[in-house]
Amino acid sequence: MTFDVPTLWTSTEIAEATGGEAHGHFAVTGVAFDSREVGPGDLFIAMRGETTDGHRFIDKALAAGAAGVICETAIDGPHIRVADSVKALTDLGRASRARSRATIIAVTGSVGKTGTKEAIAAALDRFRPGQVHRSVKSYNNHTGVPLSLARMPRNAEFAVLEMGMNHAGEIAALTRLARPHVAVITTIAPAHIENLGSMEAIADAKAEIFQGLEAGGTAIIPFDSPYHGQLVAAAQLHGARIVSFGLTDGADIHARDWVADSATGGSLITAELGGSSLCFSLAPPGDHWVANAMAVLAAVEAAGGDLAAAGVALAELPGLAGRGARHMIAVGSGEALLIDESYNANPASMAATIAQLGREPAVRRVVILGSMRELGEGSDGFHAALADHLERAGVARAILVGPEMRALADALAAKPLEARLNFTHEPDVAQALVKIEGDIHPGDAILIKGSNAVGLSRIVAALTGGE
């Protein structure tokens, strides 16, 4: 049995949205700007970038089944010719948002935005199966957000979009394009502080998400953050209804009680939501995920979703590759637990995941930690501070990867001999792989975490067999 995939865009609609010139009549069911992701019926947008030119891959995209192309040159095939393909993508995203009746939820934050985005989408999909659109991967920048909008089905009831930034002003542009009804900030931490200069500047940059809120929209803000007042003031400037979440009583939505669930590795939570309570299980482990879950409940309630359905979804939430996925790997006659946090790292997320590792039942706790990037002048201090977190977590073995990790290696070496863990400092992933081979034992719990550019995902793939 086959099912027709609904038309996402016709060539006429694409030309009208982008101001381009149509060559041929066609209809598409999807949108991609990476030729490796093109499937039958897709629209391929050929864009010129800093390192490559998508126009080189037009033939490949058409061979993969692309129904049409947006490009800046004439080609032999159905296409919309435009002056600027990047602008055309933005225009297509804007047109999608204009025609949509979906409730739009935008998510940003220094830590946890991808996982929270996925959890909100899963919770709403429990409420309206098949009617929830979301950003895929971490498509959260000046091309990723318009792509996510351009892919939004005509009749979607909800859309959950992630927004990221490296510099001030970037989220302002994204939120004005998406015009969310609900805007969530997960937390404020020293990510990209090298570019922004201070924690207050990071908070201001994240608070830009409120600038695009639709009239009567809701701002969801972390109550336990030192920058709570700053975020509230920014939201008030744009007339937002403000809902706070957190782990303490003052938050509008907060976790009253939570305990580790020994059966699943997650948590059992009782949440307070403005006079009512919700008891549910949360699959991902750690206090940081308990806080994320409160943000999810706040977003679902603000979007008109069902909180009971959200509780079910949170109990079934899988770990994401690079962001908490858990693998049991065969080691000799037994198994070891591998926790994949290889996609991103900053001081706050490092501290949270190391603390969670300390709660994992294990014969031995092992970390493979990669450099944290874009921390500016404070980089050495942020790296060195991880030494105390490793000690408190009972880590027995550490492999440190990348030049920035030298500061942590020095801090560990300065510990008293009786408190010193077994560690090595390696310049790159290739050398780290040599060190880890044969150094995993049954019963180990292994945390792999670092900034994506370090490439620790290669170690995850090697240890899991690419599963």
Q: What is the pLDDT of residues 301-312, one digit of tens each?
A: 999 999 999 999
Pick the CATH number of 9-83 from 3.40.50.2300, 3.40.1390.10, 2.102.10.10, 2.40.170.20: 3.40.1390.10
Q: What angle do CA 254, 176, 251 make, to 5 degrees?
A: 10
Residues 6+ apart with CB under 8 A from 323: 114, 115, 340, 341, 343, 344
Long-range Cβ contacts of 7-14 (<8 Å, 24+ apart): 8/43, 8/151, 8/153, 8/154, 9/43, 9/92, 9/150, 11/68, 11/78, 11/80, 13/95, 14/43, 14/68, 14/70, 14/80, 14/92
Give the model confidence (pLDDT) of 326-356 as tens digits.
999 999 889 999 999 998 899 989 999 999 9
Q: What's residue 465's pLDDT?
A: 86
Q: What's residue 467's pLDDT?
A: 55
Mean pLDDT of 69-95: 97
Q: How many percent of the chain have pLDDT more than 70?
A: 99
pLDDT over threshold 70, residue 143: yes
Under the banding of pLDDT at 50, 70 and 90, the label for residue 182 is very high
Range with the poorest average pLDDT among 169-183, 259-273, 331-345: 259-273
Q: What's residue 20's pLDDT?
A: 97
Mean pLDDT of the chain: 94
| CATH 3.40.1390.10 placement within the chain | 9-83
- The answer to whether 282 touches 300, Cβ cutoff 8 Å, is no
Q: What's residue 2's pLDDT?
A: 44
Query: CA-to-CA distance for 136 and 155, rounded, in angstroms?
Result: 18
* Location of structure tokens 């309630």: 301
pLDDT over threshold 90, residue 246: yes
Under the banding of pLDDT at 50, 70 and 90, the label for residue 1 is very low
Mean pLDDT of 296-302: 98
Pick the CATH number of 100-315 from 3.30.70.1400, 3.40.1190.10, 2.20.25.10, 3.30.70.2740: 3.40.1190.10
Mean pLDDT of 74-101: 97
Q: What's residue 340's pLDDT?
A: 95
Q: What's residue 207's pLDDT?
A: 97
DSSP letters along 154-192, please? Answer: TT-SEEEEE---SSTTHHHHHHHHH--SEEEE----SSS
pLDDT over threshold 60, residue 121: yes
- Residue 249 CB coordination number (10 Å): 9
Mean pLDDT of 437-458: 93
- The answer to whether 235 touches 207, Cβ cutoff 8 Å, is yes
Length of the chain: 467
Under the banding of pLDDT at 50, 70 and 90, the label for residue 5 is confident
CA atoms within 13 A on the CB side of 167: 3
- Residue 326 CB coordination number (10 Å): 16
Query: CA-to-CA distance for 396 and 363, rounded, in angstroms?
Result: 10
Query: CA-to-CA distance for 311 and 296, rounded, in angstroms?
Result: 10
- Residue 111 CB coordination number (10 Å): 25
| CATH 3.90.190.20 placement within the chain | 325-464
Give the model confidence (pLDDT) of 388-441 as tens digits.
999 999 999 999 999 999 999 999 999 988 778 999 999 999 999 998 888 999
Q: What is the CA radius of gyration of the chain?
A: 23
- The answer to whether 359 touches 465, Cβ cutoff 8 Å, is no
Q: What angle do CA 30, 106, 128 make, to 5 degrees?
A: 65
pLDDT over threshold 90, residue 318: no
Under the banding of pLDDT at 50, 70 and 90, the label for residue 106 is very high
Distances (CA, A) of 333 to 326, 436, 443: 20, 18, 10
| Bridging pattern class, strands 68-71 and 444-449 | unpaired
CA atoms within 13 A on the CB side of 341: 28
Under the banding of pLDDT at 50, 70 and 90, the label for residue 164 is very high
Range with the poorest average pLDDT among 91-95, 357-361, 436-440, 448-452: 436-440
| CATH 3.40.1190.10 placement within the chain | 100-315
Query: CA-to-CA distance for 57 and 35, rounded, in angstroms?
Result: 6
Give the model confidence (pLDDT) of 18-65 as tens digits.
999 999 999 999 999 999 999 999 999 999 988 889 999 999 999 999
Q: What's residue 324's pLDDT?
A: 86
Closest CA to 178 of 139, 204, 223, 205: 139
Pick the CATH number of 325-464 from 3.20.20.70, 3.40.605.10, 3.90.190.20, 3.30.530.20: 3.90.190.20
pLDDT over threshold 80, residue 466: no
Long-range Cβ contacts of 418-424 (<8 Å, 24+ apart): 419/391, 421/390, 421/391, 421/395, 421/396, 421/397, 422/396, 422/397, 422/398, 423/397, 423/398, 423/399, 424/398, 424/399, 424/400
pLDDT over threshold 80, residue 138: no
Helix (H) or strand (E) holding 352: helix 347-359
Q: What's residue 411's pLDDT?
A: 96
The two tokens of residue 57 are: 């891959």
